[in-house]
A = this chain, B = another copy of it.
Amino acid sequence: MPIVNCKISKNVKIFYPELVNLYNCKIGEGTQIGPFVEIQSGVVIGKNCKISSHSFICSGVKIGRGTFIGHSVTFINDKNPKAVNKKGKIIKKNEWLMENTIIGSNVSIGSSATIMCGINIGDNCIVGAGTLVLKDLKKNNKIYNKVFNELKNKK
């Protein structure tokens, strides 16, 4: 069961503990976590969130309360990811810069969204499905994939 050294609050539902990879993270009371989810070291997730299947939440991410993370949502914590350093050796922890991402409460992040690091998404924001988010979103705002905006403008 790949749930290692996590602080899992009461009433957390992890539907298939053998099909997730959670380590050194904190999961708030009542939060639900689907299968094929990876949550890395240092992640803090508030209470009553839904973390849907196939999502990846990396080190550096904090998520408030009552936030929805859709399916196949991918967070990022390194703007210049490399496998090796200049000497060709596998990069070590102190050889790359981790950037944080803060997601507020009551946020909804649609499926297949990708969230760049170094970003804040405020409370009550909506990120549409399939959106690549590269900049901050102040609270109560919405951002969508361009395809969505184009379709809306046509109507």
Contacts and interface: CB of A to CB of B under 8 A. Distances in A.
A108 interface: yes
Q: Chain copies in the assembly?
A: 3
B21 A2 contact: no
B53 A21 contact: yes
Interface residues of A, number: 53
A20 B38 CA distance: 13
A121 to B, nearest CB: 14
Interface in A89-116: 89-90, 106, 108, 110-112, 114, 116
A26 interface: no
Interface string A142-155: 00011110010000
Contacts of A53: 21, 38, 56
A19 B21 contact: yes
A13 B128 CA distance: 34
